[in-house]
Every structure is written in C-alpha cells, then in structure tokens.
Structure 1
C-alpha cells in the first residue's frame, strides 16, 4: 500500500514527509525572516539526475545546514530560483534526500533522532569518538549505506 511505503532504510515515508513539513514550517521563518538565507545557483539542482547525487556540507555538527539544504533543494525542485519564498514547496517534499552524519551525533538527543529519521546516513567516524582522537578502520556497512542512499536519491 502506497501509504505505508518505506525508504531503503526502513523509515515510513508518510512519517518522513510529516517531519519535513512540520520542521520546514518551523524553520522557514528562520531563513526568511530572522536570518536571510542567501541562495545562489539553485537552478542547477533541477538539472541533476534523480539518483547518485552527493552534496557535502562542511559543518561542525550543526543541524541548520541540513534544514537549509532541505529547504533549498525542495524549493528549487518546485521551480523557485534562488529563493524559498512561498512555502508551498513543503507540501510535496522530495523524500529521497540523505545526508551523512556521525552515529554518536544522531543518537544524542531528540532533535538528532528526528533528523536521523528524515534522512541521515549515520556512520562511525574513523578519526574521532566521544571527543577523543582515535584511529579505526572504515566500516564496510557505512560504505554500503552511503551506496544505498546514492542509489535511492
């Protein structure tokens, strides 16, 4: 049944859609009012293939970049050019957008767990754990999950 369709990671898409819509409504004012989000080149997003696209964010465990990227991607795919005006783009969000995040970060509280449901591909960092420098092997399951996400979106 379409209503109970799941992502490749086992998340119900109707719940994912609802979370994106609710948090999109909450965060939209931040990017349109409180802080003006400057967007350039968003028209390129519409020309990308449906799968095997990877965007990399340079961040310090801050979820504002994930929320901003979800706004920009969905707005652009709904014909907005360098703008997130007219929030109607949230009613039919693209549900196969994923982001890479550290496992320990995505388990550290309610908000990270919600973001994890929306599209986190959680991996174990090889260089850091619990604030300490470490040196461990890359987990093949992490690479496999990134590949699954790329194949889906």
Structure 2
C-alpha cells in the first residue's frame, strides 16, 4: 500500500489504519475487560464479499456500538470466531469499513472529527437537527456517498436513526437497498445502553454482559419487494418491530426514555 494511497473519499489509508489501530487499543477493554462482549454468528463475517455489504443494526449509543463492530469484524476476518480476545487482529484492520452517522454529530468536536476520518459517511438528518424537529428532503449527495462506500466496501447503518428503542425504521435505508442491492446483514446488540453513556464515550457501569448477534443475510427480492416490505423485514430482523416491545414491560421502556433524556443533559 502506497504511503499516500487514498480511499474514494480522499482519506489517506495509512493514516486511517493507524487511527483504527489506536482506537482499537484504547477501546478493547471496554468489551473485553471492564465488560464482557458475548458474540454470536461471527463466522458469517469471513464468508462475505469484500464490497457491497450493508450491516443494519439497532442502536444504543452514538459510538460504542460501531466501535464494537470494528472489533468484531476485524477479529472475525483474522480467524477468531465469536471472540475478540488477543487484540493482535487490529494490527491489519479492514480499511474499507464505513458507518453512516449524522453530520452534526461528527462535527461536534475534535474527537468526533478524528473518528469520522476512520470511516464515517456523514449524512444530514431529514427529521431532526440540533435537538429540534425538522422536515427536509433527503440530500441526494448523501445517498450517493453511501453508494460509493458500498461500492468500495462494507457499510454499517442504524436505520432507526436514534438510540431510542422501537422507533420506526427510516425508509432511506430501504431505498439504499433497492438502489444498490447489497447483501444485508442484520445485527442485534444489547447491554451497551447499560454499559455506557448515551454518546458511548464514558463507561457508566462495569461488569455488564453485552450481547452482539450477527444474523444470516436477509432474503430480499430487490426488484419486486416494496419499500414498506423491506422496512418491515428490517424491523423484525433487528428486533425493533413494535411487536417486540410487548415482551418488554412498559415501565422498562419508560425508564429507558427517562435515562436517555437525563444523559442528554448530563453529557
């Protein structure tokens, strides 16, 4: 790899590699020390093609979720099944992993700008900005950038666009699937909300068993399934369909909402 070789977004791969290595070392104990990350299904990762793979997941913190995914994916590609023990896997990370994130979040500080360089595809929210409700059209440039990232590698997206549980899936994800026809891999995570603050920077509680379940690719008829059908399929796959909320006591969901609101003002 040439020292100044760049990816399609102009990021220098040598620099990106070192950022992933550094963040990997700094965050490893958050999942393999202070807390324990229980992984299922990671054998799926190694058999995926190098490009045009879309990971869809529920969302519990801004950054701890996607950081865990970088660990799990790279560990799996190095031959580790359902474990991130022995951090040596981070020395040669997969450099064409991207994640979709809100532009205002990735521009909120120096640390987030550095993290963006490690793989963010920043998009404008169409429904919320600076804590206020808005209504705007999808920026076609954002969609093109996600397509560019899929063409170059793997993309992680959180289709609810929020860390609050059981919120609707944004239709933009289904449009991306229809347009670019990626392999779609669902991921279901849990325990991150209890382990970290909302941003995912601070450890809130130790000794939490975090779960990370990778499911087989979704079967999608790209030509004939409607946007609504794909949305419903994603809701069930990442266990965020409204029917799943019925198995969780209402008071628990209310408590999640209260804690999210409290952490919003604390951090």
Task: Give the C-alpha shift of residue 29 in structure 1.
Answer: 1.2
Q: Which runs of 5+ in 2 are unaligned?
A: 154-267
**Other-structure match for 2:109:** 109
Provide the secondary structure at the position in 2 that maps to 1:55.
strand
Deviation track 1:89-121 (CA, whole Å, cap 9, x = no partner) reads: 011000000000000000001221111100000
Instruction: Report the count of equivalent residues.
Output: 153
Higher strand share: 2
Task: Give the C-alpha shift of residue 56 in structure 1.
Answer: 2.3
Provide the secondary structure at the position in 2 that maps to 1:85.
coil
Provide the secondary structure at the position in 2 that maps to 1:4.
coil
Q: What is the CA–CA distance in structure 2 between the aligned matches of 1:6 and 1:15, rounded to whole Å?
A: 10
Task: Give the C-alpha shift of residue 38 in structure 1.
Answer: 1.3
**Other-structure match for 1:13:** 13
Q: What is the CA–CA distance in structure 2 between the aligned matches of 1:61 and 1:4, rounded to whole Å?
A: 33
Q: Report 1:81-100 matches (<5 A).
A: 81-100=81-100
Go from structure 1 to structure 2 and tell me whether the alpha carbon gap of 1:41 and 1:60 turns closer, same or farther (over 3 Å shift).
closer
**Does the CA-based 8 Å contact 1:57-1:65 persist in structure 2?**
no
Task: Give the C-alpha shift of residue 85 in structure 1.
Answer: 0.7
Q: Report 1:4-153 matches (<5 A).
A: 4-59=4-59, 62-153=62-153
**Does the CA-based 8 Å contact 1:45-1:73 persist in structure 2?**
yes
- Over aligned residues, Cα RMSD in angstroms? 1.1
Provide the secondary structure at the position in 2 that maps to 1:2.
coil
Deviation track 1:10-50 (CA, whole Å, cap 9, x = no partner) reads: 01001100010011001011111001011110010011111
Task: Give the C-alpha shift of residue 61 in structure 1.
Answer: 5.1
Higher helix share: 1
Which structure has the greater CA radius of gyration?
A: 2
Q: What is the CA–CA distance in structure 1 between the aligned matches of 2:108 and 2:59, rounded to whole Å?
A: 17
Q: Which runs of 5+ in 1 are unaligned?
A: none
Q: What is the CA–CA distance in structure 2 between the aligned matches of 1:114 and 1:107, rounded to whole Å?
A: 9
